[in-house]
Amino acid sequence: MKIIFDHQSAETDNIFTFYFKTEETISYTPGQFIELRLPHKRPDNRGDIRWFTLSSSPLEKELSITTRIVKNSSSYKKTLKDLKPGTVLSITTPMGDFVLPKILQTKIILIAGGIGITPYLSMIKYLIETKETRPIHLFYTVNNEGDIIYNDLFEKYKLPTTIVVNQPTSAWGGERGKLSLNMILGIAEPTDNTLFYISGPDSMVKDLSETLEKTIKDHKRIITDFFPGYN
C-alpha cells in the first residue's frame, strides 16, 4: 500500500509524530501496526524496515506513527526525520491483535513503557471520537517527566491514569521509581476478568508479563506488544 509523507510534529525533544496521506482508505483497528519500508543509501546493520503501531485513530483522515529519535539513532530513524513532504513510501496492511476486547464492559488495565504508549493513543482517540466509555486504568512509565506525551488526550477522556517517572525531578508530584506489579494491583484493583495490556520495550514487557503470569492463572488475560530495538 502506498502512503505519502505529509508532515511531522515534535511531541518532545526526541519524540516525533509523522503524518501520511493515503490514496485509498486503509481500514484498521486501534492498536494495530504496519511495516514501513524506508529505502535509503547505506543503511546500517538494522536495515530499512521497521514496524510501527499506528498512533492515529481509524477515523482520522491521515495515518500517523509516533517514534523516538535520538542523536545516535539508526540510519532508518535519521532518514525518517529528514523525509520531504510528498515522499511516497510503502506499508503493509495493518495487522495484529493488540486491540480492545469486543465487550465494552470488560475491565481493562493498560500498561505502557515509554514509546509503548502508541497503541493506546490510537485507542483513546477512537474512544473519544465514538464517545465509547470503557472501564480503563492507564499505567504509563517514563524515564523523565519530559518523556510524557499526550497527557491532554488522557485528561480529555477522563481516563484514570497513573504516571510513574523513573528519574523524576524534585518538582514531580506523581509516582516515582520503577513501575511494579504491586503498584498496579494496589491502585487499579483488578477483578477476575480484568484484561492486562502491556506495551513497550522488550525487557519491560517480558519482566512485567512474567511476574503477572505468576499471579494470574488465566494467561489469556495478559496481552502483550513487544517493541524490539530499544535498549
Ligand X SMILES: Cc1cc2nc3c(=O)[nH]c(=O)nc-3n(C[C@H](O)[C@H](O)[C@H](O)COP(=O)(O)OP(=O)(O)OC[C@H]3O[C@@H](n4cnc5c(N)ncnc54)[C@H](O)[C@@H]3O)c2cc1C
**What values do phi and psi take at 108, rounded to 5?**
-130, 140
Residue 17 binding ligand X, by CB under 6 A: no
Residue 120 binding ligand X, by CB under 6 A: no
**What's the min distance (Å) between Cβ of 191 and ligand X?**
28
Stretch of 70-78, 85-93, 148-156, 168-176 contacting ligand X, by CB under 6 A: 70-78
For ligand X, which is the closer residue by CB, 56 or 181?
A: 56
User: Binding string, 186-215, against ligand X, x = CB under 6 A?
Assistant: ------------------------------
**How many residues lie near ligand X (CB under 6 A)?**
26
Residue from 126, 150, 196, 227 binding ligand X (CB under 6 A)? 227
Residue 115 binding ligand X, by CB under 6 A: yes
Using DSSP's 3-state secondary structure scheme, residue 113 falls into strand
CA distances from 201 to 38, 144, 219 (A): 22, 16, 20
Stretch of 51-59, 137-145, 172-180, 215-223 contacting ligand X, by CB under 6 A: 51-59
Copy the grid coordinates of residue 12. Answer: 518532545
The answer to whether 143 and 119 have CB atoms below 8 angstroms apart is: no
For ligand X, which is the closer residue by CB, 73 or 106?
A: 73
- For residues 33 and 35, give the distance between their C-alpha atoms in angstroms, rounded to a whole number: 7
Residue from 13, 23, 44, 210 binding ligand X (CB under 6 A)? 44
- Strands 136-142 and 161-165, how do they pair? parallel
CA dihedral for 29, 198, 66, 35, sign (positive or negative): negative
Residue 146 binding ligand X, by CB under 6 A: no
Residue from 85, 146, 174, 228 binding ligand X (CB under 6 A)? 228
**What's the min distance (Å) between Cβ of 42 and ligand X?**
13
CA dihedral for 184, 197, 63, 14, sign (positive or negative): positive
CA 55 to chain centre: 7
CA dihedral for 205, 117, 4, 130, sign (positive or negative): positive
Going by the DSSP 8-state scheme, the letter that residue 131 receives in this structure is: T
Residues of this chain that bind ligand X (CB under 6 A): 33, 44-46, 50-53, 65-68, 70, 72-74, 76-77, 115, 118, 225, 227-231
